[in-house]
Amino acid sequence: MLVETQEAIIQALTELNVFRHLDGWQGNIEELIKVPTKLPSAHVALGEIIYGEEPAAIGSKLSLDDMVWNVIITASNVRDRKSGAVECYSLIESSADKLKMMKIADGWLWPEGAKLLYAKNGLSVYGLSLRIETEQ
């Protein structure tokens, strides 16, 4: 289910046609910055899994209560900081709008917030957090 969820998020973001590079990611931001990619880019990373109640029977599967996924948005703008910020804001908004209420497995995707992760030398990196709460 995790691989399918990541691929579904990547596919939805691909449909926006605003990112020149889209992929999955695992690692820290400093490593991501060093990876040569065409910008703007988005990388999807699993942030957290919360499991449900302990199974009632031995051998039954744990249920996923909810998951947090992060979309790491990277853009470069060397003209000026304001232009760079505006570009990132539009990428965050379009990504959140596209993914909001997207059906994933037995739950719905919902944006929780965005956070500036890195800004230096015209490169800006934001993290968009999305939660999938399963239907109970």
Domain count of the chain? 1
Residue 79 counted as domain residue: yes
Helices (H) and strands (E) in the chain, counts: 3, 6
Q: How far apart are the first and last CA of the chain?
A: 17
pLDDT (0 to 100) of residue 9:
97
Residue at 55 is within a domain? no
Rounded to two decimals, the pTM is: 0.86
Mean pLDDT, to the nearest integer, of 17-21? 97
Which pLDDT tens digit goes with each residue over 45-80? 999 988 766 655 555 555 556 789 999 999 988 777
In a domain, 67, yes or no: yes
85-116 pLDDT per residue, tens: 788 999 999 999 999 999 987 789 999 999 99
Q: Is residue 121 part of a domain?
A: yes
Provide the CATH number for the domain around residue 117.
Answer: 3.30.2000.10
The pLDDT tens digits of the residues spanning 127-136 come to: 999 999 776 5
CA distances from 36 to 39, 49, 74, 98, 100 (A): 9, 29, 12, 26, 29
pLDDT at 122 over 90: no
In this structure, is residue 118 part of a structural domain?
Answer: yes
Which range marks the domain in which residue 35 is found?
2-50+63-134
* Residue at 71 is within a domain: yes
1 or 135, higher pLDDT: 1
**CA 119, CA 111: separation in Å to the nearest integer?**
22
User: pLDDT > 70: what percent of the chain?
Assistant: 88
